[in-house]
């Protein structure tokens, strides 16, 4: 048997198995059950979130005749009748998928509309699915307006686009619009887990989490990456191999780097940066992963139980979250984003990356003594607010943050704590 890629093999065949688009599914099911069907739908959303899949399911709902051949329009297509099977297999003559990117001219649209006038050959509804509809020319759009407003009763239009901004309002106003959401990494990795169980291939949850994050909101991209990972890992999908496949850094290295910056260990940080290059990871990717780490730290600081993933680095991220102030995390995140944007203009990637490290060090609050003298590390306090004030003597205090536990805040409060708050020391260089 020939191998079928996962994205196709696991394409949902009914509303129940759709992942992550509950709001759209509920509205469509309701419309089908109440028999309140619009004649034109517009599905919007980025690639790989389920526009085509949803369109095929809807076509089946409209044309399913049930196993006994007597069924009507339903929100639960049987999957067994000729119409259901033909649509699933892509050979149903009255379900027509058109890619507007390659059929965009007015002539092609006119031909299509002329054919739409004929009744379906062997079905209840003729369903036209026009993908990437924003690619149509203005003339083609104009040609379809009339039909789109009042199509023959046996014709349904399903338009799909990744870029609804480019669809004329005259078209938008004739369609019922549904915005498909980007898939959350949790939804993608949950589905991957299900697929892997069904396929009987062992996979580490952390490896799937990493793949899901790399899919950036697209289930199709996620399953393609999973295909790639299965091939790359030759059987057992592990975090280590997936990391190597994606060229993603070990998050431990980034946690180490963050710690070095926090403690002003500039020399070690630069040495680590050099090592990253030697390990063959691109600095651009490293900057991105580091920003992603800062993002996770910031989330953990505000909502401690927000990250439910099985990341092995979670414990370390928690430690970092408790030893940085939210302001520092924000600033470091901003520095990394800027470094990413500047990467193309930097003398080289290594310079771009290390400059980001040096910038973080330069903007470090009180704890960093110029001239490379690193303040003595105290074993006790975990929060830098306290550490910084202890070590820096006369430096102005950080504004105490509202989530500092009272006992730490009291311990750290210097004599001038009653004065009106000043600007924090960072950012003035």
Give the interface with Zn ion as residue ranges (CB under 5 A): 64, 77-78, 81, 84
Residue closer to Zn ion by CB (options 84, 257) is 84
The C-alpha atoms of residue 176 and residue 38 are separated, in whole angstroms, by 7
CA dist 67 → 70, 72, 83, 316 (Å): 8, 11, 10, 56
Residue closer to Zn ion by CB (options 70, 429) is 70
Q: Tell me, rounded to whole angstroms, the distance of Cα 344 from its chain centroid.
A: 24
DSSP state at residue 374: P
Residue closer to Zn ion by CB (options 33, 240) is 33
8 Å CB contact between 179 and 165: no
Residue closer to Zn ion by CB (options 87, 294) is 87
The C-alpha atoms of residue 131 and residue 162 are separated, in whole angstroms, by 9
Q: How far is the CB of 192 from Zn ion (least distance, A)?
A: 29
Residue closer to Zn ion by CB (options 56, 288) is 56
8 Å CB contact between 171 and 148: yes
Q: How far is the CB of 78 from Zn ion (least distance, A)?
A: 4
Q: How far is the CB of 88 from Zn ion (least distance, A)?
A: 10
Residue closer to Zn ion by CB (options 19, 84) is 84
Residue closer to Zn ion by CB (options 80, 194) is 80
The C-alpha atoms of residue 320 and residue 311 are separated, in whole angstroms, by 15
Residue closer to Zn ion by CB (options 62, 196) is 62
* 3-state class percentages of the chain: helix first, strand second, coil last, to nearest 5: 55, 5, 40
Q: Which tokens sit at 226?
A: 């999973």
Q: Which tokens sit at 151?
A: 């199509």
Q: Which tokens sit at 169?
A: 């309002």
Q: Is 339 strand, coil or helix?
A: helix
Query: In the block, which residue shows the tokens 């805040």?
Result: 409
Q: How far is the CB of 85 from Zn ion (least distance, A)?
A: 8
Phi, psi torsion values for 271, nearest 5 degrees: -65, -40
Phi, psi torsion values for 316, nearest 5 degrees: -70, -40
DSSP code per residue over 86-123: HHHTT--TTEEEEETTTS-SHHHHHHHHHHHTSPPSSS
């Amino acid at each position: 048997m020939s191998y079928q890629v996962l994205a196709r093999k696991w394409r949902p065949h009914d509303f129940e198995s759709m992942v992550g688009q509950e709001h759209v599914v509920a509205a469509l099911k309701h419309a089908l059950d109440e028999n309140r069907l619009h004649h034109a739908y517009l599905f919007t959303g980025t690639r790989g979130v389920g526009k085509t899949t949803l369109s095929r399911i809807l076509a089946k709902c409209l044309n399913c005749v049930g196993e006994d051949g007597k069924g009507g329009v339903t929100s639960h297509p049987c999957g067994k009748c000729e119409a259901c099977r033909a649509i699933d297999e892509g050979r149903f003559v009255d379900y027509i998928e058109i890619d507007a990117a390659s059929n965009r001219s007015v002539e092609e649209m006119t031909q299509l509309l002329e054919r739409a006038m004929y009744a379906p050959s062997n079905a209840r509804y003729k369903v036209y699915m026009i993908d990437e509809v924003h690619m149509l020319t203005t003339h083609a759009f104009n040609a379809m307006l009339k039909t789109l407003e009042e199509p023959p009763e046996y014709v349904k239009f399903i338009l799909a686009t990744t870029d609804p901004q480019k669809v004329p309002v005259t078209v938008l106003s004739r369609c019922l619009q549904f915005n498909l959401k980007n898939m959350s990494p949790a939804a993608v990795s949950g589905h991957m887990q299900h697929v892997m169980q069904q396929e009987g291939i062992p996979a580490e949850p952390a490896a799937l989490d990493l793949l899901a994050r790399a899919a950036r909101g697209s289930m199709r991209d996620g399953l393609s990456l999973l295909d790639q990972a299965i091939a790359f890992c030759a059987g057992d999908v592990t975090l280590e191999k997936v990391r190597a496949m994606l060229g993603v850094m070990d998050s431990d290295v980034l946690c180490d780097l963050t710690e070095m910056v926090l403690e002003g260990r500039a020399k070690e940080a630069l040495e680590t940066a050099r090592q990253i290059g030697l390990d063959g990871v691109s600095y651009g990717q490293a900057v991105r992963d580091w920003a992603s780490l800062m993002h996770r730290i910031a989330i953990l600081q505000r909502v401690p139980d927000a990250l439910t993933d099985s990341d092995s680095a979670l414990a370390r991220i928690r430690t970092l979250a408790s030893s940085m102030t939210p302001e520092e995390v924000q600033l470091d995140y901003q520095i990394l984003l800027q470094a990413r944007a500047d990467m193309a203009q930097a003398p080289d990637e290594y310079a771009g990356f290390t400059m980001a490290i040096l910038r973080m060090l330069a903007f470090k609050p009180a704890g960093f003594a110029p001239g490379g003298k690193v303040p003595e590390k105290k074993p006790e306090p975990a929060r830098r607010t306290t550490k910084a004030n202890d070590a820096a003597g006369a430096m102005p205090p950080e504004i105490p943050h509202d989530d500092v536990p009272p006992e730490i805040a009291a311990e750290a409060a210097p004599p001038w704590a009653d004065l009106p708050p000043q600007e924090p020391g960072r950012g003035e260089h």
